[in-house]
């Protein structure tokens, strides 16, 4: 039986994350980086799927989150609002020795800045981003099943879908609704499933959903407040089978933020002083 202690350490994942981004051409999304790390490190699906104690992410996803955060703190990588991570000039010049000391460097930076606070090996401390997403997912998980389906219906409409209907029929292979997405001159009928799973969503769910789609639509979408196992992601894009798009909890939170559904982004005013102006008076 696999245990979380079988996972690579945070420092090892820091090195593996940097290597993964380089392998991807110098930039990559969270999913792309995670999949490359899993492949390179030989991490099994069972090990990658061990759920974290809060039930929102897996332990591996938490450690990968912190690996990216630590690399950002030492200015080795940076990310855009769209969640794409890119190696910086500092990162390109970073030696193997410096990379192997990133965790200690960040701890020292934290100790010097706060006089006391350094993260431990459990990576339980959460960033501001992780906090708001965790709070939002907690709210979503409290919603009644039919209310969550209506929320997903609204999200799809706000994202450009038309004729979005929630069917919610039992025994319908997990299909919860249908909508039409128009791209330029072409329209696609999309079947969707929206569920608040406990733990990660496995490949079997994707296969069952695809089976229910057959003969009805070539486009499918699964939305969850949870995460998808690496095996599920591979199954969703398997060669020779209709592709199924996957929206996990993190994607859903970002969608709700971008669409301003139940979320408000507050900007903090920052005043900068230009001393040269006063010096010239």
Please tell me whether residues 68 and 101 are part of one structural domain: yes
Question: Is 76 a member of any domain?
Answer: yes
Find where tokens 């855009």 sit: 80
Please tell me whether residues 96 and 154 are part of one structural domain: no
pLDDT of residue 85: 92
Please tell me whether residues 112 and 142 are part of one structural domain: no
CA 161 to chain centre: 23
Question: Is 130 a member of any domain?
Answer: no
Question: Is 272 a member of any domain?
Answer: no
Sheet holding 244-247, edge to edge: 161-166, 177-183, 186-195, 219-224, 244-247
Please tell me whether residues 78 and 164 are part of one structural domain: no
Question: Is 250 a member of any domain?
Answer: yes
pLDDT of residue 119: 46
CATH number for 14: 1.10.10.10
Residues 90 and 76 sit within 8 Å (Cβ to Cβ): yes
Please tell me whether residues 105 and 46 are part of one structural domain: yes
Question: Is 150 a member of any domain?
Answer: yes
Please tell me whether residues 143 and 112 are part of one structural domain: no
Digit-by-digit pLDDT tens for the chain (281 residues) are 778 888 899 999 999 999 999 999 999 988 889 999 999 999 998 888 888 776 667 888 888 989 999 999 999 999 876 778 999 999 999 999 999 999 888 888 877 665 544 444 444 444 555 578 888 888 998 888 889 999 999 999 998 889 998 886 655 567 888 888 887 778 888 999 998 887 788 899 999 999 988 888 878 999 999 888 888 888 998 888 888 999 988 889 888 988 889 988 877 777 888 888 778 77
Sheet holding 77-79, edge to edge: 27-29, 84-87, 77-79
2: burial class by Cβ within 10 Å (0-12, 13-18, 19+)? middle
- Residue 71 sits in which domain range? 4-122
pLDDT digits (tens, 9 = 90+) for 99-120: 999 988 888 887 766 554 444 4
Longest Cα–Cα distance of the chain, Å, equals 78
Q: Provide the domain count of the chain.
A: 2
pLDDT of residue 68: 92
pLDDT digits (tens, 9 = 90+) for 133-153: 888 888 998 888 889 999 999
Question: Is 95 a member of any domain?
Answer: yes
pLDDT of residue 215: 82
Question: Is 267 a member of any domain?
Answer: no
pLDDT of residue 124: 47
Q: How far apart are CA 62 and CA 111, in angstroms?
A: 22
CATH number for 150: 3.40.1350.10
What token pair was written down for 5?
Answer: 């202690």
Question: Is 20 a member of any domain?
Answer: yes
- pTM to 2 decimal places: 0.62
Q: What is the secondary structure of 33-85 as a DSSP string?
A: HHHHHHHHHT--HHHHTPBPTTSSSBHHHHHHHHHHHHHHHTTSEEE-TT-EE
């Amino acid at each position: 039986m696999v245990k979380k202690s079988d996972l690579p350490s945070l420092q090892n994942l820091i090195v593996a994350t940097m290597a993964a981004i380089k392998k991807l051409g110098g930039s990559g999304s969270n999913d792309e980086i995670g999949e490359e790390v899993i492949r390179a490190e030989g991490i099994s699906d069972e090990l990658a799927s061990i759920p974290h104690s809060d039930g929102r992410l897996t332990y591996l996803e938490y450690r990968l989150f912190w690996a990216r955060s630590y690399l950002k703190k030492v200015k080795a990588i940076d990310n855009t609002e769209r969640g794409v991570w890119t190696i910086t000039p500092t990162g390109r010049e970073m030696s193997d020795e410096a990379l192997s000391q990133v965790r200690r460097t960040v701890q020292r930076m934290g100790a010097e800045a706060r006089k006391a606070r350094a993260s431990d090996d459990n990576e339980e401390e959460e960033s501001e981003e992780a906090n708001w997403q965790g709070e939002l997912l907690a709210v979503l998980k409290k919603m009644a099943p039919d209310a969550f389906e209506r929320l997903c219906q609204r999200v799809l409409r706000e994202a450009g879908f038309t004729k979005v209907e929630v069917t919610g029929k039992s025994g319908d292979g997990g299909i919860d609704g249908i909508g039409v997405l128009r791209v330029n001159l072409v329209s696609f009928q999309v079947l969707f499933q929206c569920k608040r799973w406990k733990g990660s969503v496995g490949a079997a769910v994707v296969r069952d959903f695809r089976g229910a789609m057959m003969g009805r639509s070539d486009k499918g979408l699964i939305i969850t407040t949870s995460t998808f196992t690496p095996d599920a992601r591979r199954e969703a894009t398997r060669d020779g089978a209709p592709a199924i798009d996957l929206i996990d909890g993190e994607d859903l939170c970002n969608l709700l933020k971008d669409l301003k559904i139940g979320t408000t982004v507050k900007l903090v005013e920052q005043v900068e002083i230009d001393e040269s102006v006063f010096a010239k008076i």
